[in-house]
Amino acid sequence: MSDRNDHVIMELVRDHTARTGKTLKVTTPHQVLHINEVGELKAQLAHYSRPFIRHVVHPNTQFARKFYVEKVRPALRYYCLKYSVAVPAWLKDDSYFHDLPDDEKMSLFGTTKLAKREFRPIVKGSPDAEAGVQ
């Protein structure tokens, strides 16, 4: 886990300009959070520990709250593994958000479906990596 681009989230997103109507989007942890040392990670863990109570999801929009669940939390878990920091109990999984009643999810995130995402290693030379599929 030395290179900041060795783990990614890959997702197909709608793209009206693409011939197939979809494009492969690749996101690295460093694109989500810039963390370069353990001290920065600990500061970010304190900052994000209770975002809806402490109002640190800015802007306070459905998109920002969804981004927090689908990208920020996985990035924090990635950096915990990278820097050998224990993953706090509040960050271990996202079942709280996924198990909310549909009306609450719609209110908070603008959708009833939240993607379960984690940053995965790129295995260079594998058929999946060559094809752009993880």
The C-alpha atoms of residue 92 and residue 71 are separated, in whole angstroms, by: 14
The C-alpha atoms of residue 14 and residue 4 are separated, in whole angstroms, by: 26
The C-alpha atoms of residue 100 and residue 104 are separated, in whole angstroms, by: 6
pLDDT in tens, 55-106: 556 677 888 889 999 999 999 999 999 999 999 999 999 998 999 999 999 9
DSSP H/E element including 11: strand 7-14
Model pTM above 0.75: yes
Structure token pair of residue 118: 């984690």
pLDDT in tens, 1-49: 445 558 888 887 777 777 778 888 888 999 999 999 999 999 999 988 8
The C-alpha atoms of residue 94 and residue 101 are separated, in whole angstroms, by: 14
